[in-house]
A and B are shown apart, each in its own frame.
Chain A
Amino acid sequence: GAVVSQHPSWVICKSGTSVKIECRSLDFQATTMFWYRQFPKQSLMLMATSNEGSKATYEQGVEKDKFLINHASLTLSTLTVTSAHPEDSSFYICSAAASGTVSYEQYFGPGTRLTVT
């Protein structure tokens, strides 16, 4: 149980275009989802926290207008990188949390590799 998927697993886009990444909880309802960014050989950097039906809460330094997050249902959150540039190339990982768990555990997706050319 507690499987989280991401789509696509990798994507290449041209500079100036937008790209959408989906994060789905497959077998549980995720009241909270998180989006992380990971640079090579570095730790995960939390970008934002999203709760179903609410606006996402962005971490300091993360551009809200560039990284649009939507958590429209209890099983789906999307991250849209708008007007992407080469510096947005990175590994993006989502995670999901189900309410009511005693360990407050996040379940992680497999990640999406974004390359902007």
Chain B
Amino acid sequence: AQSVTQPDIHITVSEGASLELRCNYSYGATPYLFWYVQSPGQGLQLLLKYFSGDTLVQGIKGFEAEFKRSQSSFNLRKPSVHWSDAAEYFCAVGSGTYKYIFGTGTRLKVLA
């Protein structure tokens, strides 16, 4: 069965520190992979996506993610976190039917 796992429910980092949010998926074919960010009471904003080509994907707000097929992972990274990055982050796997499977989310807290 298809699934998405975000192992870390909460992550706390200091402002300026690097960040890595983990996402592992289980999917039979080549997946379409997405990272979204959600601020409290807001909708989802797309950070980046992968569907083919270069496995290192650059996104908005200085985020990047790397697709590793051998590890079934699509981890999100940022070299230096800003206080405004505090939010909920969701990894999602898509298919050819447009339907997504969402991970459970990782809540990021940034310490000043």
**A residues engaging B (CB < 8 A)?**
6, 32, 34, 41-44, 46, 49, 91, 93, 97, 102-106, 108-111, 113
Contact = CB atoms under 8 A, between A and B. Distances in A.
Given A97-B98, A105-B32, A105-B34, 17 more contacts: A32-B98, A41-B107, A43-B102, A43-B104, A44-B102, A46-B99, A91-B41, A103-B32, A104-B32, A104-B51, A104-B95, A105-B94, A105-B98, A108-B45, A109-B43, A110-B43, A113-B41
Contacts of B28: none
Interface residues of B, number: 26
Given A41-B107, A44-B90, A49-B99, A103 B43 contact: no
Interface string B81-112: 00000001010001111111011110100000
25 contacts: A6-B43, A34-B99, A41-B88, A41-B107, A43-B90, A44-B44, A44-B90, A44-B102, A46-B100, A91-B41, A102-B51, A102-B52, A103-B32, A103-B51, A104-B51, A104-B94, A104-B95, A105-B98, A108-B36, A108-B44, A108-B45, A109-B43, A110-B43, A111-B41, A113-B41
